Structure 1
Amino acid sequence: MPKGYDFIIIGGGSAGSVLAGRLSEDPSVQVLLLEAGGSDRHPFYHLPAGFAKMTKGIGSWGWETVPQRQMQNKIFRYTQAKVIGGGSAINAQIYTRGNAQDYDDWRQMGCEGWGFDDVLPYFRKAEDNGTYENRFHGKGGPLGVSEPRAPLPVCEAYFAAAAALGIPRNMDVNGETQDGVGYYQLTQRNVRRSSAAMAYVAPNRHRKNLTVKLGAQVRRLIVVKGRATGVELIDGTRLYAESEVLLSSGAIGSPRLLQLSGIGPAEHLGSLGIDVIFDQPQVGANLQDHLDLYCISELAGPYSYDRYAKPHWAVIAGLQYIFGRKGPVASSLFETGGFWYADRDARSPDIQFHLGLGTGIEHGVAAMPQGGITLNSCYLRPRSRGTVRVQSANPSKAPLIDPNYLQDPLDREMSIRGLKLTQDILSQSPLAKYILAERLPGPSVTTDQDYFNFICQHSKTSHHCVGTCRMGPDDGAVVDTSLRFNGVEGLRVIDNSIMPTVISSNTNAAAIMIGEKAADMIKAQHGMG
């Protein structure tokens, strides 16, 4: 009989790492963490600026979307992390939680226990905040949260430019109000990335009751008489869980594995020759993501970090970091931004900005020969809904990812408004000494049709996919409010796929909160210490 465990966690990303760290606090239970990706030993995983390399390279599975029908069949690169720590190991380390109303909306949908006052203690529990300790922030938690160490003068000019349009400065967008521009706090400690794996797994690898397996791809869940009892790996190895199987593979990976296991929309699975164990049409439905648009301006001088792409400047950048923990290597490159309104009647900010201190930082974004800055915007509460579907019973095949961007006309309108707002900010006088000219969209883009055509060429995912294993009180929901799978015993889904609606910001901090809250629910149910 193969060795059994009490809990098997599938996916060592943000939520899965939290579960591994928290559940193994009880020495009486055996916890197994399975991560399909590799280790995070490469130094780029730990340097703040390293994300730009990892989202394009070894840190990603290399998946793409299907052609986007509402965007002239544009295909998006859809980065999904291939490393312990998941998205938290390759993202831009921006620590934002969304708006309080996002969570209160979940509660009003019937998700009791998920209002803002319910989830705030878990955000605080996770934090070791280097700046704040108050109602909104905590110290002493596993996750390092700190202020940027390498802002540039152009950031302050950006704040002044926003102020010229009536957009206030906000010192803490995770505090009393989200409105305004400012520096984002970052998931960093001592000017190094604080991924979920570094925060929750690495310090606890010595625990005898915690087993971590890397490169462990799960072929399918084992379900016996309506109960999840374990997993089968690609190589045929079977591993068993006495208490629960915890699926934490993300908004793409979790519905993908469920469908490969015969749990999902029966008609689609049957068409692929997959034996249907449980018909659940909502598995892989309700996909939501933020579409990221960008305005790029060429600079009049070396005011951004672009010059450090040249070999001799790269050496200088390395020395700056080694000896002073400053300079471009110490920067997440997108640590400045804020929240404002495309619709002034919106219940809270519906546009988010990220000021990139360079150009060509991410895949598909043009670089300026003389150096530049990039001001991204995304519409935060899209109405469009997409899907994740397996395309084959073969687990080596990439899933069919369809965010269905701009399917709803309001998403298109608000996205264009957000892009125009970034142009307005960059054209204000406080930035005049820094900016030579706007290059994208540029002066030739004038009508809404021009803007739409531009977006269909120049846009990307914000990497904020959620919703594909929706939580809810209704029979159609994939999981209940304790994240237990409706229809399969002994199985929970614990990651951003459970969000009924996408939150109004970056999503990594919320994934960590979900892991913290789920760990407490599991401990309470099983009488764990």
Structure 2
Amino acid sequence: MGGYDYVIVGAGSAGCVLAARLSEDPEARVAVVEAGGPDNAEEILVPAALARQFKGEFDWDLDSEPEPGLGGRRAYLPRGRTLGGSSSMNAMIYVRGHPADYDAWAADGASGWSHADVLPYFLRAEDNERGAGDHHGVGGPLTVSDGRSNHPLASAFLDAAEQAGYRRNADFNGDTQEGMGRYQLTQRGGLRCSAAVAYLHPAMERPNLTVLPWTRALRVRCEGGRANAVEVTRYGEVEVLTAEREVILAAGAYESPKLLMLSGIGPADQLRDLDIDVLADLPVGEGLQDHCMAPLNWRTDTESLMAAASNPDSVTLLESEGRGPLTSNIAEAGGFAHSRPGLPAPDLQFHMTPTLYHQEGLGATVDHGFAIGPCVLAPTSRGRVTLRSSIPGAAPRVLHNYLATEEDRAALVSGVRIALDIAGREAMAAVTTGPFDLPESDSQTDILGWAAARAMTLYHPTSTCGIGSVVDPDLRVRGIAGLRVADASVFPSVPRGNTNAPTIMAGEKAADLIRG
């Protein structure tokens, strides 16, 4: 195939941003490689259908290694495999994280990544229907809107949270993160506004942008200490895409480190064991973090979300007015809290679903029900991504080390107790008919035993190619010229919140770094 100036691997949240921003220069020849296909399926576009993607053609469908903190259980790890990546599969929650997250990155050496540094990129990306202000932008590619489902069970949760003493928060990206409220969403007219919808599709009209779906990257080719091409397989044929300026990996926290290691960039001993020539000895794959969630489920006599979504009237509402149950992002409400006094920022996040959410999101909605999922927001546990073999098609080994530290276990126990407290308040008790899946009691032993069998990913893996260890603050891979990583894998630690907005921010900032 022809040569390019930039070859981007991965058309996910950051990759779509990079493809759009770099191709704004008509003289720059840009290619973006995506292992999956188009993103025009109903289960992608219709928000409430998101779980229909699990273990299907749009899912990488990974499993962790046996997790010691989960009793040796393997965790299911869905990741988007289509244009838009996981922004085409996620719950569309627009949360940036806490300012302290970014200030801690900068204090630890990630210069240029403080909250003051990154806020302009959040604002540049955003088109918030509430209008512009100190905390929000308008006119950007990414539409951010209030939810258009507003299920009554979510309202009952918020009333109960107030009864339990938690403040109502209308904007988790505003003056304070703490409190409970409804999440703002990356939706446009009640439909999903993924990074592909926001950035990639408009840019695909440009003659200097080449989008290559169904194309899997095999490795980065380097010569004389410089990355100059990406070897790919496309429709059964191996091809080489040359990059005169840069190769940019934006394949996510599992695939970007895997590609680096397959290319000879990673822990030298591990690579030599697989007969991979070592180009740069770096701690690629180390430092993995994620948010671990344990959803509690109750039965209700109120019609739950998925039952309402199956009503033909819901289709009419979606098509005619862009609202109703089919616009739901499932996790409609939630918020942030402290597990104990004295913490500088929240260390717990909650997601409330007005439908059952169990068995890692794969369980059937066999009853009317709801779930409250506390998650460990600022984990101290760290895991790793390693190669399973030198065969590019082999899935990586992923070990999160969920709940591996006493601090993380204590935080989760506190989060479960908060969820039980909220569910027991008058507003929720009035619509609850009984337990569906709960711990035997609120004792630490019962909670941790129950969580070992139920805890799951909150779909936020980060930090496997971290700034300061694998890449420098300009996202250049140490020791290899012409190669950057620009996705959630570069985060020094997982932000306090859902990671899609921070990943899009990283794509925006990376584009400026690349363009100088």
Aligned match of 1:452: 448
Partner SS, residue 482 of structure 1: coil
Q: Which amino acid aligns with 2:431?
A: Y
Q: Secondary structure at the match of 1:467?
A: coil
Q: Which residue of 2 aligns with 1:483?
A: 475
Partner of 1:284: 285
Match of 1:188 in 2: 187
Structure 2 CA distance for aligned equivalents of residues 97 and 55 of structure 1: 25
Contact 1:62 1:78 in 2 (8 A): yes
Q: Secondary structure at the match of 1:243?
A: strand
Mapped to 2, the partners of 1:308 and 1:295 lie a distance apart of: 21
CA shift for structure 1 position 306: 3.6
Is 1:245 matched up with 2:247?
yes
CA distance in 2, matches of 1:55, 1:445: 31
CA contact (8 A) 1:359 1:365 kept: no
Once the 2 structures are TM-superposed, how far is the Cα of residue 447 of structure 1 from its aligned partner? Answer: 2.6
Equivalent residue number for residue 158 of structure 2: 159
Equivalent residue for 2:266, pick from 242, 251, 264? 264
CA distance in 2, matches of 1:446, 1:186: 33
In the alignment, the residues of structure 2 paired with residue 66 and residue 287 of structure 1 have an alpha-carbon distance, to the nearest angstrom, of: 13
Which residue of structure 1 lines up, in the alignment, with residue 128 of structure 2? 129
Structure 2: distance between partners of 1:108 and 1:192:
39
Tell me which amino acid in the other structure corresponds to 2:373.
Answer: N
Distance 1:402 1:116, change over 3 A: same
User: Which of 2-11 and 18-27 deviates more?
Assistant: 2-11
2:199 paired residue number: 200
Q: Closer, same or farther in 2 for the Cα pair 1:78/1:213, shift >3 Å?
A: same
- Say which of 378, 381, 384 aligns to 2:381: 384
Q: Deviations over 1:435-471 (max 9, x none)?
A: 11233215x2343121111011112100110000010
The equivalent residue for 1:498 is 490
Q: Which residue of 1 aligns with 2:437?
A: 440
Q: Which residue of 1 aligns with 2:209?
A: 210
User: What is the identity, as a one-letter code, of the residue corresponding to 2:490?
Assistant: I
Report SS of the residue matched to 1:175.
Answer: coil
Q: Which amino acid in structure 1 is aligned with residue 448 of structure 2?
A: F
Q: How does 1:75-90 map to 2 (within 5 A)?
A: 75-90=74-89
Offset, 1:165? 1.9
- Structure 2 residues without counterparts, runs of 5 or longer: none
Counterpart in the other structure of 2:49: 50
* 1:293 to 2:286 alignment: no
Offset at 1:367?
4.8
For residue 397 of structure 1, report the CA deviation from its aligned partner: 0.9
Could you say which residue in structure 1 is the equivalent of 2:501? 509
Is there any run of 5+ residues in structure 1 with no aligned partner, and where?
A: 525-529
| Whole-angstrom CA distance in 2 between matches of 1:301 and 1:119 | 43
Per the alignment, in what secondary structure is the counterpart of residue 242 of structure 1? strand
The equivalent residue for 2:515 is 523
Q: What secondary structure sits across from 2:422 in the alignment?
A: helix
How far did residue 211 of structure 1 move?
0.5
1:275 is displaced (CA, Å) by 2.0
Alignment of 1:415-426 (within 5 A): 415-426=412-423
CA-to-aligned-CA distance 1:277-301 (integer Å, 9 cap, x gap)? 2211x10000000101111111123
C-alpha contact 2:63 2:77 (8 A) present in aligned 1: yes
| C-alpha RMSD of the superposition | 1.4
Map 1:219-368; keep pairs closer than 5 Å: 219-234=218-233, 235-280=237-282, 282-302=283-303, 304-308=304-308, 313-360=310-357, 363-364=360-361, 366-367=363-364
Among residues 404, 407, 410, which one is paired with 1:410 in the alignment? 407
Q: Say if 1:71 and 1:295 are closer, same or farther in 2 by CA, change over 3 A.
A: same
- Kept in 2, the 8 Å contact 1:34–1:213? The answer is yes
Matched letter for residue 253 of structure 1: E
Alignment match, 1:527:
none
Mapping of 1:110-129 within 5 angstroms? 110-129=109-128
- 2:158/2:333 contact within 8 Å kept: no
2:372 — aligned with what?
375
Give the letter aligned to residue 289 of structure 2.
Answer: Q
Which letter does structure 2 place at the counterpart of 1:129?
A: N
Does 1:461 find its partner at 2:431? no
Q: Give the letter aligned to residue 292 of structure 1.
A: M
Paired letter, 2:449:
N
Q: 1:480 corresponds to which letter in structure 2?
A: D
Does the aligned pair in 2 maintain the 1:56–1:363 contact within 8 Å? no
Three-state SS of the structure 2 residue aligned to 1:246 is strand
Give 1:317 shift.
Answer: 2.7
8 A contact 1:298–1:372 mirrored in 2: yes
The residue correspondences of 1:391-406 to structure 2 (distance < 5 A) are: 391-406=388-403
CA–CA separation in structure 2 for the residues paired with 1:501 and 1:4? 36
Q: Distance in 2 between matches of 1:112 and 1:132?
A: 30
- The CA distance in 2 between the partners of 1:71 and 1:358, in whole Å, is 24
Amino acid in the other structure paired with 1:422? A
TM-score by length of 1: 0.94
**Secondary structure in structure 1 of the residue aligned to 2:219:** strand
Deviations 1:248-290 (A, max 9, x none): 011001000011111111111111222222211x100000001
Counting only pairs closer than 5 Å after superposition, residues 67-78 of structure 1 correspond to structure 2 as: 67-78=66-77
- For residues 303-332 of structure 1, what are the alpha-carbon distances to aligned partners after superposition, in whole Å with 9 as ceiling and x for unaligned? x214247xxx44333233223322221111
Tell me if the contact between 1:272 and 1:391 (Cα under 8 Å) persists in the aligned partners.
Answer: no
| C-alpha contact 1:143 1:187 (8 A) present in aligned 2 | yes
Contact 2:293 2:375 in 1 (8 A): yes
Shift of 1:111: 1.2
Over 6 Å off, 4+ runs: none
Contact 1:179/1:338 (<8 A) preserved: yes
Q: Structure 1 residues 156 and 364, CA, compared in 2 at 3 Å: closer, same or farther?
A: closer
Select which of 426, 433, 439 maps to 1:429: 426
Quickly say closer, same or farther: Cα 1:490–1:368, change in 2 above 3 A: closer
Q: 1:497-529, CA deviations, whole angstroms, 9 ceiling, x for partnerless residues?
A: 0011110000000000000011011112xxxxx
Under a length normalisation based on structure 2, what TM-score does the superposition of the two structures give? 0.97
Alpha-carbon spacing, 1:233–1:306, altered in 2? closer, same or farther (3 Å): closer
Matched letter for residue 425 of structure 1: I
Question: CA offsets, 1:404-425, max 9 Å, x none?
Answer: 1111111111111111111111
**Distance (Å, rounded) in 1 between the aligned partners of 2:474 and 2:306:** 47
Q: Is the 8 A contact 1:94 1:186 kept in 2?
A: yes
Q: Deviations over 1:134-155 (max 9, x none)?
A: 0110111000100000112222
1:149–1:331 CA contact under 8 A, matched in 2? yes
Give yes or no for contact 1:351–1:418 (8 Å, CA) kept in 2.
Answer: yes
Matches within 5 A, 1:14-33: 14-33=13-32
Matches for 1:1-12 after TM superposition, within 5 Å: 2-12=1-11
Residue 430 (structure 1) shift: 1.6
Q: What is the aligned partner in structure 2 of residue 149 from structure 1?
A: 148
**Higher mean C-alpha displacement, 267-276 vs 142-151:** 267-276
How many Å separate the matches in 1 of 2:43 and 2:361? 20
With over 3 angstroms needed to count, the CA separation of the structure-2 counterparts of 1:361 and 1:86, relative to structure 1, is farther
Cα separation, 2, equivalents of 1:361 and 1:295: 8
AA of the residue aligned to 2:329? S
Given that 1:355 and 1:376 are in contact with CA atoms closer than 8 Å, whether structure 2 keeps it comes out as yes
Aligned partners of 2:297 and 2:358 also within 8 Å: no
Q: Which letter maps to 2:409?
A: R
Q: Determine the C-alpha separation between the residues in 2 that align with 1:121 and 1:268.
A: 40
